[in-house]
Structure 1
Amino acid sequence: MPELPEVEALALDLQGRLDGRAIDTVYLAAFSALKTYDPPVSALSGLFVDGVGRHGKFLDIDVSGLHVVLHLARAGWIRWKDEVPTLPPRPSSKSGLAVRIVLDDGSGLDITEAGTKKSLAMYVVRDPQEVPGIASLGPDPLTDDFTREVLGEILQREGRKQVKGVLRHQGTIAGIGNAYSDEILHAAKMSPYRPASAIVDDELDLLHRAIRETVGAAVDRSRGLAASELKGEKKSNLAVHGRTGLACPVCGDVVREVSFADSSLQYCATCQTGGKPLADRRTSKFLK
């Protein structure tokens, strides 16, 4: 799933590619991807792109005052095409194509989504705050006002909720997903099950620093990369997420996993839980 660093890099990449270009046509290959009807998609034709930005994990393309807002969900991505086909795409679940944006010079964007669970969303709005997910976003962890005190207030407000879930909840803190929450907690040497309100004093300092440094470093590494390079860059710099069974790069212990119905988390027991594996019936046999 693209998270804050990847969406930030996508915005920078697309800013350079779309600057000064006008939208010719927008084709919907998956009609369920469009979540709005007013303004219509046809209103974008002939308008110039004024900028590309980000709100949490939402991508925002400013088109002469209208906004094409994209949420790539778990399996969505954007693929730049120097030349796109002239014929409208046919709806097809096999291709994975959801939306095609054709520019005035014949180049364009293919917005795709892999898998059978379709969650990718596109909104055409006059103000990004019209998108419910943007209107309810928590603070951005890279802004100057995301201070230690702000984080402390959030954790106390969330009470006994597990810190892993607090970090991932977009209405609490914007832009952090499953992968970077694993990485942040590993950097902070903290159990993903730690109650939010129990994180105070030195632990609060550690977590705040881990959020800023982990996400900030990922943004720095991604800056300037093309969309096609971002997934590889992210994967190659993860310490625990997606590395079940491999060695922790800090202590050498095996990276462990806890599985849920539709997701999983990875952690190092030595670094994060005092050497005690977290209970997980699906992986306990593997870890013995």
Structure 2
Amino acid sequence: MPEMPEVEALRGFLADQLVGGTVVRALPVAFHVLKTYDPPLAAVEGRTVTGVARHGKFLDIAFAGGTAGGPAEGGPHLVVHLARAGWLRWLDAVPKAPPRPGGKGPLALRVVLAGDATGVGAPAGFDLTEQGTQKRLAVYCVRHPSDVPGVARLGPDPLDPTLTPAAFAALLRTERRQIKGVLRDQSVLAGIGNAYSDEILHAARMSPFKLAARLTEEEAVGLHAAMTGTLREAVERSRGLAAGRLKAEKKTGLRVHGRAGQPCPECADTVREVSFADSALQYCPTCQTGGKPLADRRLSRLLR
């Protein structure tokens, strides 16, 4: 799943490619992708892109009459959530043949930009695609980003300067849940998912099962430093990369997530995994749990 660093890189990439351009067509291909009807998706056609913003894991493309991340002032916003298996594919030349609605491929929506005045060559644009059978990719055409329920409920961005170590510690004191779940909760912190929560907890040398409300002040400050450091490093690695290279860059930068069975880069202990119904976490016992492996709850149920 694309998380805050990758979505921030996509935001920068799209800002370079889209701002000042005009959308001539917005074509929904998969019936499930569009989650709104007023204003209609056609409201973005013929409009100039004025900015691209990010809200947690949401991309916000603003059109003439509005500003990205600000008051709409009549201009529509195209807000995109890529979910678990969605992605954005940039097209330097959009195929001349229009996509077939309801096709079986991964294409969910196509946006076509106006070509140059010469009319030579195909216009540019981008596709939104989604692999797999669980279709969660979501596109919203709204008057303001806060009209999207998922945006309206977002907590603070983890790299927001106002989220100081003291503010972060105060936030955690209200959470009587395991810290892994707190970091992933978008209403608490906007933009962190399964992968980077694993990376942050490894950097903080903290068990994913530790209760957030029981963290000491020193532990909370250390976790804040691990969070901001991990995310800033990931953002810098991704900055300036084309959309097609971001997935590979994310994988190469991960130290424990997705690396079960491999040696920990810090201590060489074996990275372990705990599986759940629809996800899994990875951690290092030596670095994070005092050498004690955590119970794999899915395996425990199978052995009953």
Which bracket does the TM-score occupy, shorter chain normalised? over 0.9
Give the Cα separation in 1 of the matches to 2:256 and 2:103. 33
Return the TM-score normalized by structure 1.
0.96
Q: CA deviation at 1:156?
A: 1.1
Q: Which residue of 2 aligns with 1:14?
A: 14
The answer for the alignment partner of 1:146 in structure 2 is 163
Q: Which residue of 1 aligns with 2:251?
A: 235
**Deviations along 1:81-131, whole A, 9 cap, x unmatched?**
011123321134531011000110211100000000000100001110101
Q: Following TM superposition, by how much is the alpha carbon of 1:150 offset from its aligned partner in structure 2, in angstroms?
A: 1.6
Question: In the TM superposition, what whole-angstrom CA distance separates every residue of 1:182-240 from its partner, at most 9, and x where no partner exists?
Answer: 00000000000000111122111110100110011111111111111111111001010
**Is 1:53 aligned with 2:58?**
no
Instruction: Return closer, same or farther for 1:93/1:206 CA change in 2, 3 Å cut-off.
Output: farther
1:169 maps onto 2:179 in alignment: no
Q: Residue 190 of structure 1 aligns with which residue?
A: 206
Uncovered stretches (5+) of structure 1, i.e. residues with no partner: none
Question: Match of 1:116, as an amino acid?
Answer: T
- Per the TM alignment, residue 7 of structure 1 is displaced from its structure 2 partner at its CA by 0.3
Aligned-pair CA distance for 1:281: 5.2
Q: Which residue of 2 aligns with 1:94?
A: 104
Mapped partners of 1:158, 1:225: distance in 2: 36
1: CA distance between counterparts of 2:5 and 2:289? 27
Q: What letter is aligned with 1:2?
A: P
Matched, 1:250 2:263: no
Distance 2:298 2:284 in 1: 17
> Does the 8 A contact of 2:166 with 2:221 survive in 1?
no
Report how many residues are paired: 283
What is the identity percentage for the equivalent residue pairs of Structure 1 and Structure 2? Answer: 59
Secondary structure of 1:35's aligned partner: coil
Amino acid at match of 1:97: L
After alignment, is 29-38 or 84-93 more displaced?
Answer: 84-93
Q: How does 1:23-42 map to 2 (within 5 A)?
A: 23-42=23-42
Distance of 2:102 and 2:215 partners within structure 1: 48
Q: CA deviation at 1:154?
A: 1.6
Q: Unmatched 5+ residue regions in structure 2?
A: 65-74, 116-122
Counterpart Cα distance in 1 of 2:172 and 2:213: 5
Question: For the aligned residues, what is the CA RMSD?
Answer: 1.1
* Aligned counterpart in structure 1 of residue 151 of structure 2, from 107, 122, 134: 134
Structure 2 Cα separation of the partners of residues 187 and 124 of structure 1: 38
Contact 1:257 1:283 in 2 (8 A): no
The alignment status of 1:74 with 2:84, answered yes or no, reads yes
SS where residue 77 of structure 2 aligns?
Answer: strand
Corresponding residue for residue 67 of structure 2: none
Give me the whole-angstrom Cα distance separating, in 1, the residues matched to 2:55 and 2:155.
10
Distance in 2 (CA, whole Å) between partners of 1:90 and 1:258 is 41
Deviation at residue 51 of structure 1 after TM alignment: 0.9
Aligned equivalents of 1:107 and 1:85: distance in 2?
Answer: 9
Q: How many Å separate the matches in 1 of 2:195 and 2:25?
A: 35
The 3 A distance-change label for structure 1 pair 257 and 283 is: farther
Residue number among 247, 264, 281 corresponding to 1:265 in the alignment: 281
| Other-structure match for 1:216 | 232
Cα offset, 1:43, TM superposition: 1.2
